[in-house]
Amino acid sequence: MKVTVIGSGYVGLVTGACLADVGNDVLCLDIDPAKIALLEAGGICIYEPGLDEIIKKNVAAGRLNFTTDVKRAVEFGTLQLIAVGTPPDEDGSADLQYVLGAARNIGKYMTDYKVVVDKSTVPVGTATKVEAVIRAELDRRSADIEFSVVSNPEFLKEGVAIEDFMRPDRIVIGSDDPNAIHIMRTLYAPFQRKHDRLLIMDSRSAELTKYAANAMLATRISFMNELALLSEKLGTDIELVRQGIGSDMRIGWHFLYPGCGYGGSCFPKDIQALLRTAAAVGGELKVLTAVEQANERQKSVLVDKVVARFGPDLTGLTFALWGLAFKPDTDDMREAPSRVIIAALLRLGAKVVAYDPAAIDEARRVFSHHDGQLSYAAHPMVALDDSDALIIATEWKEFRSPDFDAIKARLRNPVIFDGRNIFDLHDDGLKGIEYFGIGRASRATELTIERVA
């Protein structure tokens, strides 16, 4: 099939590359000539495991092409996939100007039947707006050309997006047009595994499904984070509680990990947008409001622990920070807890030496005005030299089995604040280290209790 992808950002590139990989002819459009030039030269501006290879392979095979030419892009694909950003506007609602701009261009240049597919995360009712914009453009041209608008939200997770696209849990198609549904079924046929993963519904329900999924996942995390805070007060271990409840099939294991807060480009933005959507129809999502508040507080819990241990004035102290990205396997720092942690430590007078396997360049951009107090290490162990304590904000695999003796030797004070509970509390390596996790007794406290007993 001939597919145009409008917007060559994260979702657009992954979608375009994966659709080309199963044999479609794909043309990716972007308004940014520098981005398109880089892609044409075999480069890529985002970090996503496996994406690089799959783009190169399909460009070489001639199935994946890039352009800044809007007219050419609209004429090219029977399928027009809209994968542009929906950033929050001033009040937190999703800003639809790029989505509707793409719709306008489709209406302006289309010459034959199109299936217009909304892949961007968009509020309920957007498919109707997209349809109206295209129809208005066609009317302006006095052109009578058929088209259909389909909602097809993506559920890609950064870091495993290729896997998510190639082997989806479900494919949500919002449409009531049998012809469009047939085309979407054909498009996704190579990604259906043993059983049918297509869920066909009306476009409004499809649009809400995306927000509901992210809101549900964020709710689980915030709820676990609240239980973790309670655990600290009660002297219980949230990690044991997590295992105790996760084994209940109705609860399950995923998204039950307490930590120093969720971040990323989706959860915070989508929760804001869903709250606005609810307010606009006179609804109130009390639970979700609390989820958001709990997460804001959670991003500061590590700093609270640092202050409790070192006092409110951190002048003269240096903290090694492992993990800048909002989660492992990405260089994305959007809404990352590390941003809140670094800003607070610097405000309290501390110096920070940060390490991240992928996000240091991004951090330099984000914190460009803090050169003096904030520096970066090329290796996690080097970050520890002359530091007073270690703070872990992201659970990169390479942090999980460190040389604890080297940590003790390099840190001025053997203190670890673990924002992702990546160590086993009973690991012998932690002996001699003051260890503060999330929702569990600190290792020092536990040793005291053992001694008393």
Which residues form the interface with ligand UDX (CB under 6 A)?
Answer: 154-158, 214, 217, 221, 255-257, 259, 262-264, 266-267, 326-327
Q: 142: helix, coil or strand?
A: coil
Question: Nearest approach, Cβ of 163 to ligand UDX (angstroms)?
Answer: 12
- In the complex with ligand UDX, the residue whose CB is nearer, 59 or 260, is 260
Longest dimension (CA), the chain: 86
Is 126 annotated as a binding-site member? no
Is 165 annotated as a binding-site member? no
CA-based torsion, 404, 409, 414, 417: positive or negative: negative
Question: Nearest approach, Cβ of 78 to ligand UDX (angstroms)?
Answer: 25
Cβ atoms < 10 Å from Cβ of 317: 20
Which tokens in the block code for residue 264? 């990323």
Is 157 annotated as a binding-site member? yes
Which contiguous run of DSSP H or E holds residue 280? helix 267-280
CA-based torsion, 234, 235, 241, 242: positive or negative: positive
Of 18, 28, 260, 266, the catalytic one is 266
Question: Nearest approach, Cβ of 178 to ligand UDX (angstroms)?
Answer: 28
**Would you call 266 a catalytic residue per the annotation?**
yes
d(CA 153, CA 122): 8
Question: Nearest approach, Cβ of 213 to ligand UDX (angstroms)?
Answer: 6
Q: Tell me if 125 sits within 8 A of 137, measured CB to CB.
A: no
Is 269 annotated as a binding-site member? yes
Question: Nearest approach, Cβ of 198 to ligand UDX (angstroms)?
Answer: 17
Is 349 annotated as a binding-site member? no
Core vs surface per residue 90-101: b (16+ CB within 10 A) or e: eebbbebebbbb
Q: 193: helix, coil or strand?
A: coil
- Torsion-angle region of residue 114: left (phi > 0), alpha (psi -120 to 50) or beta? beta
- In the complex with ligand UDX, the residue whose CB is nearer, 66 or 257, is 257
- In the complex with ligand UDX, the residue whose CB is nearer, 66 or 165, is 165
Is 428 annotated as a binding-site member? no
DSSP assignments along 50-87, one per residue: THHHHHHHHHHTTSEEEE--HHHHHHH-SEEEE-----
DSSP assignments along 217-255, one per residue: HHHHHHHHHHHHHHHHHHT--HHHHHHHHHTSTTT-STT
Is 210 annotated as a binding-site member? yes
d(CA 175, CA 205): 10
Question: Nearest approach, Cβ of 323 to ligand UDX (angstroms)?
Answer: 10
As a 3-state breakdown, the chain gives helix, strand, coil percent values, each rounded to 5, of 45, 15, 40
Binding residues for NAD(+): 30, 35, 86, 121, 158, 269, 334
Q: Tell me the binding residues for substrate.
A: 155-158, 210, 255-259, 263, 327
Catalytic sites, residue numbers: 266
Residues that constitute the known binding site: 30, 35, 86, 121, 155-158, 210, 255-259, 263, 269, 327, 334
